[in-house]
């Protein structure tokens, strides 16, 4: 692999906590049982990765997570020959391992990868369900317990980094969004154990930040950032300072915007 932190294999002992938004659990189970690939769209921190972890554990499948980036190549996914001890040996990439052994291969933020990467996954997303390995001459047939899942954030799309229609139409697709206040309350309390009143104030703050129209924010406050902030408050940090470190500073680098957002924070916690 070109970057050692590109792939991770999860094997959790406990089902990751997850609050369903709609019928995504049933859709995912149907896709798995019928060997269909899945595409998940949604903003950063809205629960896409947590959902995949939850479903992998629920289905009893190993999860191969690949965090896509500009330098990710087809070889990083499929594998390559490496030299060691005077010999040249083939080493499977995460996609190949998932196809050989079964499991979910999850390509997170797939539009960030180089274009040759999406070409590699095409044969796995139609009725062939094969992975040709040109370097070894093999053609791997995906087993029934293999599943391909990709995700991306439509808010970051541009002409250079969109997912081509010819690729998008190969998947069952689901759109995720921010949780409702009631769902977000469940998540914060389950993940952090923070007092309900503080959780409700954080959620009210996040909702207000997401609805701001005159701030130059690329994204709204994610549930992930709320969890981070809640852990700081639970640990005894001042709520306003916890919001600065766990929320505001992660949303923007602009000093004027930070100052304006901190005014909103103070108003929320001093009211």
What is the per-residue pLDDT across 20-52, written as a single tens digit (0 to 9) for each?
Answer: 888 999 999 999 999 999 999 998 888 899 999
Q: Does 103 share its domain with 214?
A: no
Question: In the chain, which residues have pLDDT < 70?
Answer: 1-14, 155-161, 213-215, 271
How many Cα atoms occupy the beta-carbon half-sphere of 85 within 13 Å? 1
Q: Does 26 share its domain with 133?
A: yes
Q: Does 169 share its domain with 187?
A: no
Q: What is the pLDDT of residue 119?
A: 87
Q: Contact at 8 Å (CB) between 14 and 148?
A: no
Q: What is the distance between the alpha carbons of residues 258 and 244, in angstroms, rounded to a whole number?
A: 8
Select from 175, 204, 238 the last residue of a domain: 175
Measured N-to-C along each axis, helices 24-33 and 48-59 cross at an angle, to the nearest 10 degrees, of 50
Q: Does 166 share its domain with 206?
A: no
Q: Does 122 share its domain with 162?
A: yes
Select from 114, 147, 175 the last residue of a domain: 175
pTM of the model: 0.84
Collapsing DSSP to helix, strand or coil, 191 comes out as helix
Q: What is the distance between the alpha carbons of residues 40 and 130, in angstroms, rounded to a whole number?
A: 22
Number of domains in the chain: 2
Q: What is the pLDDT of residue 159?
A: 43
Q: What is the pLDDT of residue 4?
A: 35
Select from 175, 209, 236 the last residue of a domain: 175
Q: What is the pLDDT of residue 213?
A: 64
Q: What is the pLDDT of residue 86?
A: 77
Q: Does 44 share its domain with 170?
A: yes
Q: Give the helix/strand (H/E) hosting 174.
A: strand 172-175
Within a domain: 31: yes
128: domain CATH number is 3.40.50.300
Q: Does 245 share its domain with 139?
A: no
Q: What is the pLDDT of residue 157?
A: 53
Give how far Cα 148 sits from Cα of 76, 121, 155, 178, 181, Å.
16, 9, 23, 24, 31
User: By residue range, what is the domain housing residue 257?
Assistant: 181-270
Within a domain: 67: yes
Q: What is the pLDDT of residue 161?
A: 66
Within a domain: 1: no
Q: Does 241 share its domain with 139?
A: no
Q: What is the pLDDT of residue 103?
A: 97
Q: What is the pLDDT of residue 215?
A: 67
How many Cα atoms occupy the beta-carbon half-sphere of 94 within 13 Å? 30
Q: What is the pLDDT of residue 2?
A: 38
Q: What is the pLDDT of residue 12?
A: 44
Q: What is the pLDDT of residue 41?
A: 93
First and final C-alpha spacing in the chain: 52
Within a domain: 2: no
Within a domain: 90: yes
| Torsion, Cα of 77, 103, 184, 240 (10° steps) | -40
Q: Contact at 8 Å (CB) between 140 and 100?
A: yes
Q: Does 37 share its domain with 164?
A: yes
Q: Does 161 share its domain with 212?
A: no
Q: Does 40 share its domain with 138?
A: yes
Q: Does 19 share its domain with 149?
A: yes
Q: Which of 49, 225, 65, 78 is nearest to 153 (CA)?
A: 49
Q: Contact at 8 Å (CB) between 184 and 34?
A: no
């Amino acid at each position: 692999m070109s970057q050692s932190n590109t792939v991770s294999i999860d094997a959790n002992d406990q089902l990751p906590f997850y609050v369903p938004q709609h019928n995504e659990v049933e859709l995912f189970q149907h896709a798995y049982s019928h060997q269909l690939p899945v595409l998940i769209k949604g903003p950063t921190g809205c629960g896409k990765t947590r959902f995949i972890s939850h479903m992998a554990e629920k289905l009893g499948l190993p999860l191969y997570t690949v965090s896509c980036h500009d330098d990710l190549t087809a070889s990083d996914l499929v594998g390559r020959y490496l030299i060691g001890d005077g010999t040249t040996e083939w080493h499977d990439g995460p996609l190949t391992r998932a196809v050989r052994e079964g499991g979910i291969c999850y390509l997170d933020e797939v539009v960030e990868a180089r274009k040759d990467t999406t070409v590699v996954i095409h044969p796995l997303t139609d009725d062939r369900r094969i992975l040709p390995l040109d370097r070894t001459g093999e053609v791997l047939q995906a087993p029934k317990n293999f599943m391909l899942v990709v995700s991306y954030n439509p808010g970051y799309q541009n002409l250079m980094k969109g997912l081509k229609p010819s690729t998008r139409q190969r998947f069952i697709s689901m759109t995720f969004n921010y949780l409702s206040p009631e769902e977000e309350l469940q998540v914060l309390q389950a993940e952090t154990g923070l007092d309900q009143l503080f959780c409700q104030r954080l959620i009210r703050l996040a909702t207000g930040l997401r609805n701001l129209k005159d701030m130059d924010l690329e994204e709204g406050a994610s549930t992930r950032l709320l969890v981070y902030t809640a852990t700081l408050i639970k640990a005894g940090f001042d709520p306003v300072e916890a919001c600065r470190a766990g929320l505001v500073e992660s949303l923007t680098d602009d000093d004027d915007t930070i100052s304006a957002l901190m005014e909103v924070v103070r108003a929320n916690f001093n009211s």
